[in-house]
Amino acid sequence: MVHYLTSRLREYRRLSRDGVLAVGLMLSVAFLGLFVIYPLFKILSVNASPAAAPAWHRLIAARGTWNVIFNTLWLGLGVATIGTALGFLFAFVQVKLDVPFKRLFNLVGVLPIISPPFAVAMSTIVLFGRSGLITHKLLGLRYDVYGLDGLIFVLAISFFPIAYLTLVGMLRALDPALEEAATSLGASRWRVFRTVVLPMMTPGLASSFLLLFVEAMADLANPLLIGGNYTVLSSRIFLAIIGEYDLYAGAVLSLILLVPSLTLFFLQYYWVSRRSYVSVTGKPTGSARPLETPVLKWSLFALTLLISGLIVLVYGFIFVGAFTKVWGINYAFTLDHFRFVLFGYGSDAMVDTTLLASIATPLAGVLGLLIAYLVVRRRFTGRSLIDFASVLGLAVPGTVVGIGLILAFNQPMWGGLFPKLTGTALIIVMAYAVRSVPGSVRSIIASLQQIDEAMEEASASLGASSLTTFRRITVPLIKPAFLAGLVYSFSRSMTSLSAIIFLVTPRWRIMTAQILNEAETGRFGNAAAYCVVLIAIVLFAIGLMYLTVGSRTGAERLVER
């Protein structure tokens, strides 16, 4: 026992000898503890408190609650299935087929990442709704797009890049020698696909499926706008807080949403993703032989082209909405919506959101770097706990993050030493950081794991301090990953709605919350103009980051991934 303790202590003493790293460790622990773990703990403790008992009784007894839970699971299942299939189709065409427009397909596969909330849903309503341009004006249908079908459509095209990016990397890494071996043993194309390619892809498919499931359950914007009367847990939480003013019901429902989300996420994180059959040997292998069956090849191509066309149409139509008088009704050209967003009262939101996201981005980047470095390169007790906490921000649905932050910081702590944070810009920045750190950490961990520690050891044995080694050896090597983390953080923050919707303050206007307001009160034109401006800001910022931090390899890497 004593020996155990002293050895633990020795670990930390060794760690604390690197002054900078010790500070880094403390910062990471403080951030994760205060803004990730503590809010979740607050949700649990509020749920366990007697004050929440009436809300529990009421919600469990209400048949509506059970409907809402099943609705949420159905939605997750639908989006996960269709999104994974779409991702696989795009990845397969990208890697295995020798067809034109592959750059376009790749772009379509990553485009939705910078998409603001509501954009796709609004376009879908105007294009495919009851009086939709395509469904009604072109085909004469009165199709009701609100509800489960519309939601699955919108969420599948919004989230399928998660599956695409996972699967395209995996397909590329498949050793073509295995397929060639199977073929030369006389297996048909289909048999090779079924018995060689598919089994090797299973971990990737399962992981995409689970991640999409979690994302679909967590999404708030689309259920609010296109869900119609189909209520899911996230929109039910929104109703509890915003409509029924019932923080306890919100906390109870948050817990109900948290359980499947965390289960599926960590199933993916600890089990599926560790079960990779793909062996990266580093040795050059032959490049994959393109698929040669023409019928199959061209029908897959046609399908991909059709879907890409649909996605481009949906996104392109946002620009139509932003530049026309009344989207869906009066298509006369106007700049009114942009006047409103750029120079009217919408401009505050533009400046505020960009400012807060710009503060959160480097914060998330540096924290991500520190956490990733500690997790991969240092050995100390509690390391796996830090690893776990660092991905929580991604696993926990945004609405739950928001409620947790409110519960944790709506009064001063420690006898006033730590001020009340609700109502300040700081809590919004922290919400952004909580949501962005995991992506940044993941990106840098992946990069660090590929770098041989020997280089750092060589630097150390030549007498460089750990800080110098970190600065001169490690940082340059992981710069592309760091940059990818920054880009991810910024676009994630700018487009984030669910985590900040309950935290918006009078002083700090947030574009996504404004878009919700405009879209919900029926001003789709203003909302579309907001979306266009938001996309422009994100693209501009990404360009700026490459210029200041960047390197070509970083840019290429991001597109490749």
Q: How far is the CB of 87 from another protein (least distance, A)?
A: 26
- Residue 136 or 297 having the CB closest to another protein: 136
Tell me how far CA of residue 97 lies from CA of 165, 260, 491, in angstroms.
17, 37, 31
Gyration radius (Cα) of the chain, Å:
25
Cβ-proximal residues to 530 (8 Å cutoff; 6+ apart), any chain = 116, 341, 346, 349, 511, 514, 515, 518
Q: How far is the CB of 23 from another protein (least distance, A)?
A: 20
Q: How far is the CB of 358 from another protein (least distance, A)?
A: 6
- Residue 43 or 305 having the CB closest to another protein: 43
Helix (H) or strand (E) holding 38: helix 38-48
Q: How far is the CB of 249 from another protein (least distance, A)?
A: 10
Bridge partners (DSSP) listed for residue 333: 324
Tell me how far CA of residue 374 lies from CA of 14, 25, 460, in angstroms.
13, 7, 17
CB distance 524 to 328 below 8 Å = yes
Q: Helix-strand-coil percent breakdown of the chain, rounded to 5?
A: 80, 0, 20
- Residue 180 or 246 having the CB closest to another protein: 246
- Residue 495 or 514 having the CB closest to another protein: 514
Q: How far is the CB of 557 from another protein (least distance, A)?
A: 21
Q: How far is the CB of 518 from another protein (least distance, A)?
A: 8
Q: How far is the CB of 112 from another protein (least distance, A)?
A: 24
Assigned token pair, 96: 């295995």
Q: How far is the CB of 532 from another protein (least distance, A)?
A: 18
Q: How far is the CB of 171 from another protein (least distance, A)?
A: 36
Within 13 Å and on the Cβ side, how many CA atoms surround 394? 24
- Residue 164 or 230 having the CB closest to another protein: 230
Q: What's the CA gap between 19 and 21, in Å, rounded? A: 6
- Residue 204 or 346 having the CB closest to another protein: 346
- Residue 203 or 368 having the CB closest to another protein: 368
By CB neighbour count within 10 A (0-12 exposed, 13-18 middle, 19+ buried), where does 531 fall? Answer: buried
- Residue 285 or 347 having the CB closest to another protein: 347
Cβ-proximal residues to 179 (8 Å cutoff; 6+ apart), any chain = 192, 196, 197, 288, 289
Q: How far is the CB of 460 from another protein (least distance, A)?
A: 30
Concatenated DSSP letters of 436-461: HHHHHHHHHHHHHHHS-HHHHHHHHH
Tell me how far CA of residue 548 lies from CA of 257, 433, 437, 448, 483, in angstroms.
40, 21, 21, 22, 10
Q: What's the CA gap between 136 and 129, in Å, rounded? A: 8
- Residue 66 or 190 having the CB closest to another protein: 66
- Residue 10 or 325 having the CB closest to another protein: 325
Q: How many other β-carbons are positioned within 10 Å of the β-carbon of residue 232?
A: 30
Within 13 Å and on the Cβ side, how many CA atoms surround 158? 25
- Residue 64 or 316 having the CB closest to another protein: 64
Q: How far is the CB of 148 from another protein (least distance, A)?
A: 5
Residue with tokens 């897959």: 300
Residues within the interface to another protein (CB under 8 A): 62-65, 67-68, 70-71, 126, 129-131, 136, 144, 146-148, 224, 228-231, 239, 241-245, 247, 326, 328-330, 344-345, 355, 358-359, 362, 406, 410, 420, 422-423, 504-507, 509, 517-518, 520-524, 544, 548
- Among candidate residues 285, 474, 507, the one with its CA nearest the CA of residue 378: 474
